[in-house]
A and B are shown apart, each in its own frame.
Chain A
Amino acid sequence: MAYSDKVLDHYENPRNVGSFDKNDPSVGTGMVGAPACGDVMKLQIKISDNGMIEDAKFKTYGCGSAIASSSLVTEWLKGKTLDQASEIKNSAIAEELALPPVKIHCSVLAEDAIKAAVADLKSKQK
């Protein structure tokens, strides 16, 4: 299968790979997907005192498009508020990476991961 240059770039040089301490109150963790389906994304966001996402990290088990989708959103998330983060749509991810139709679910998974990470952080802040 031929991949777009952007997918290949993120796959070859993934941005922001790693983990934060998931018990840190300023960290929100989203883990979505399932091994049986062939993709699992773990996305973490770290929020600063002023409510902005100051850092994001990911680890992904999945195909090249899944890795690229999660790598891309870690870049997009930095500097956004939680509300702005929640507005990131899978269609924007798919468009940016020029994902073929069979890989759209990878971008859906990335959107789900953002929502899960934001929800986790909000539940910690209550």
Chain B
Amino acid sequence: MKVEKMTMPIYMDYSSTTPVDPRVAEKMIPFITEDFGNPASRSHPYGWTAEKAVETARKEVAKLVNADPREIVWTSGATESNNLAIKGAGNFYSTKGKHIVTLATEHKAVIDAVREMERLGFTTTFLQPEPDGLVNIEKFKAALRPDTVLASVMMVNNEIGVIQDITAIGNICREQNIIFHVDAAQATGKVEIDLEKLPVDLMSFSAHKTYGPKGIGALYVRRKPRIRIEAQIHGGGQERGMRSGTLATHQIVGMGEAFRIAREEMGEENARIKKMQHRLYEGLTEIDETYVNGDLEKRVPHNLNISFNYVEGESLVMAIKGIAVSSGSACTSASLEPSYVLRSLGRSDEMAHSSIRFSIGRFTKEEDIDYTIQLLKDKIGRLRELSPLWEMFQDGVDIDKVEWAAH
């Protein structure tokens, strides 16, 4: 099949994935061709070179989050890290209790790993956050039980970008001797993470959300006090037995370099991105009947999630094909269900259907923001002209009071 070269839209979907920074790619290449050794080979320089590169990268990952390099376990990505943390710690400590607390707005990799624990005899609580997307600390405390063994709360939400109060939640877990796992896939390079101070036992990382390659991630496993996990992948005993499998040296080198750049540049970069987020927010909220999903202040600057009322998300995505974004509309998801994250905030189905996630990053330019604002202003107007709901709204009909025949 012949695939025609498309004119590529402006990338506004950094929360899905980021391009590999050219500096990262450059650093990776020698480890594919020349320095291809297996880091576990102890008998020749090929192995030694690879091992050295892996350990340098481990230090870089640890440094970004102020951890000890020995606390970093390589995985294939945040999905595997989340699975390893939840299944690994849940099963290891299951004699202490079999109840797990997490949020209804977690990434599917956490939700479905926790669901799998139900199958293994655990009971679970999926806590609903407040309408702003944040956890109510009192409600979190109330959800804990004497048999709660593990809690898992994401640092930054992938859909709405809100930042949870990890310190407060972690302190409660510490008091009650509950293992605390944090999915930080969307947090690295965006918010400061200091694991010397944070009361966190396990933390998941991904490279490709932070300008590193796909297919590599890490799990932080605290040493003091020591946290134990059961391995989920068995084999050659790499990563002190916690995760077997030949280490992907080039991927690991990429993650290390990506995290080094993040550490050195995140201050300046986030200030720049914050300005662009503000510009985007100001421009888009000039459009009537727009609603920001999630708290605007306790939020990473990279994310803006907006519902454009009376316009359906998928048709909007089609209309704005000059930019690449994600929608919470059912029609854009494989499951044909509207975003469960927005539904958990108490947003109506139609508001979830009407939502667009704009996520910006390192290579976003100010003119991209201006183009986006103008594009949305033009297309929302056109689609609302097509929308019977907009017409009803204009006529003063309360759409919530209409009896719709659900189908």
B348 contacts which of A1, A19, A36, A66 (Cβ < 8 Å)?
A: A36
In the complex the two chains form, is A60's CB within 8 Å of B391's CB? Answer: no
Q: Quick one: CB contact mask for A100-111 with B, threshold 8 Å, 1 for yes?
A: 001001000100
A38 touches which of B338, B388, B399 (Cβ 8 Å):
B338
Q: How far is the CA of A19 from the CA of B391 in the complex (A)?
A: 9
Interface of chain B: mostly helix, strand, loop or mixed: helix
Given contacts A11-B315, A19-B391, A61-B310, contact A38 B330 (CB under 8 A): yes
Evaluate contact between A61 and B399: CB separation under 8 angstroms: no
Residues on A with C-beta less than 8 A from B349 are 35-38
Q: How many Å lie between the Cα of A31 and that of B399 in the bound state?
A: 13
Q: Taking A33-B404, A38-B331, A105-B407 as contacts, is the C-beta distance between A59 and B386 under 8 angstroms?
A: yes
B159 within 8 A of A: no
Q: CB distance A37 to B406 under 8 Å?
A: yes
Asked if A59 and B388 make an inter-chain contact with CB atoms under 8 angstroms apart, the answer reads yes
B332 partner residues in chain A, CB cutoff 8 A: 1
B51 located at the interface, meaning its Cβ lies under 8 Å from any Cβ of chain A in the complex: no
A60 and B387 in contact (CB under 8 A), knowing A33-B407, A102-B336? yes
Q: Does the CB pair A61–B387 fall under 8 Å?
A: yes
Interface residues in B352-401 by Cβ distance below 8 A to A read 353, 385-391, 399
How far is A53 from B250 in the complex, measured between Cα atoms in Å? Answer: 68
* Option from B310, B313, B385, B404 in Cβ contact (under 8 Å) with A34: B404
Q: Is the CB of A67 within 8 A of B407?
A: no
- Cα distance A19–B310 in the bound complex, in angstroms: 17
Give the contact-size bracket for chain B.
Answer: 20 to 34
A64 at the interface (CB under 8 A from B): yes
Verify if A39 is at the interface (C-beta below 8 Å from B): yes
Closest to B348 in A: A36
A109:B407 contact, CB within 8 angstroms: yes
| Smallest beta-carbon distance A47→chain B, Å | 21
Is the beta-carbon distance between A34 and B406 smaller than 8 angstroms? yes
- What residue in chain A is nearest B404 (Cβ atoms)? A34
Interface contacts beyond A37-B407, A64-B314: sample of 13 additional A-B pairs, CB < 8 Å, sorted by A: A33-B407, A34-B404, A35-B350, A35-B399, A38-B312, A40-B388, A42-B388, A60-B388, A61-B312, A61-B390, A62-B315, A64-B315, A105-B407
Pull 10 A–B residue pairs with CB atoms less than 8 Å apart, ordered by A: A1-B332, A34-B404, A35-B348, A38-B329, A38-B330, A61-B312, A61-B390, A63-B312, A63-B331, A102-B336
Binding site for B on A (CB under 8 A): 1, 3, 11, 14, 17, 19, 31-42, 59-64, 66-67, 102, 105, 109
